[in-house]
């Protein structure tokens, strides 16, 4: 997923629809800055949880966003089959995962 597409992505009808029923897998780089903030604001507003996957500034970071991410459960087991295929496409590394909960403060 291209960094430049985040602003457009959050405004798209498909993105809005997907956020109501399944986990979203997305990638970003450390220079995404303001574009990434609009995505995180959307997640926070809709009470999504974020699972940050291992990554680095060269390859970028990969995240999974979902309404519920149960503790002590392998993330790949919680993704629908199509999302597992997408994870394979991006060569996602799910080891060393950290759960981050975004709480709606507004």
- Name 61's bridge partners: 28
Has residue 106 been placed in a domain? Answer: no
Q: What is the pLDDT of residue 79?
A: 41
CB atoms within 10 A of CB 66: 20
Contact 31, 3 (CB under 8 A): yes
Q: What is the pLDDT of residue 68?
A: 63
What is the Cβ-side half-sphere exposure of residue 89, based on CA atoms within 13 angstroms?
10
Has residue 9 been placed in a domain? Answer: yes
Q: What is the pLDDT of residue 45?
A: 72
Has residue 21 been placed in a domain? Answer: yes
Give the closest residue to 51 by CA, choosing from 99, 19, 102, 90.
Answer: 99
Has residue 20 been placed in a domain? Answer: yes
Q: How far apart are CA 72 and CA 48, in angstroms?
A: 18
Q: What is the pLDDT of residue 31?
A: 59
| Tally of domains in the chain | 1
Q: How far apart are CA 79 and CA 45, in angstroms?
A: 22
Q: What is the pLDDT of residue 76?
A: 44
Q: What is the pLDDT of residue 55?
A: 58
Contact 44, 64 (CB under 8 A): no
pLDDT along the chain (106 residues), means of 10: 45 53 60 60 68 58 63 45 45 40 40
pTM listed for this prediction? 0.37
Domain housing 21: 3-101
Q: What is the pLDDT of residue 6?
A: 45
């Amino acid at each position: 997923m291209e960094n430049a597409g985040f602003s457009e992505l959050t405004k798209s009808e498909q993105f809005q629809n997907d956020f109501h029923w399944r986990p979203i897998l997305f990638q970003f780089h450390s220079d995404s800055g303001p574009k990434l903030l609009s995505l995180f604001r959307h997640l926070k507003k809709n009470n999504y949880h974020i699972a940050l996957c291992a990554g680095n500034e060269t390859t970028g970071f990969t995240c999974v966003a979902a309404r519920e991410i149960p503790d002590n459960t392998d993330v790949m087991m919680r993704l629908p089959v199509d999302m597992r295929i997408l994870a394979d496409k991006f060569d996602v590394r799910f080891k060393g995962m950290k759960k981050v909960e975004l709480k709606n403060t507004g």
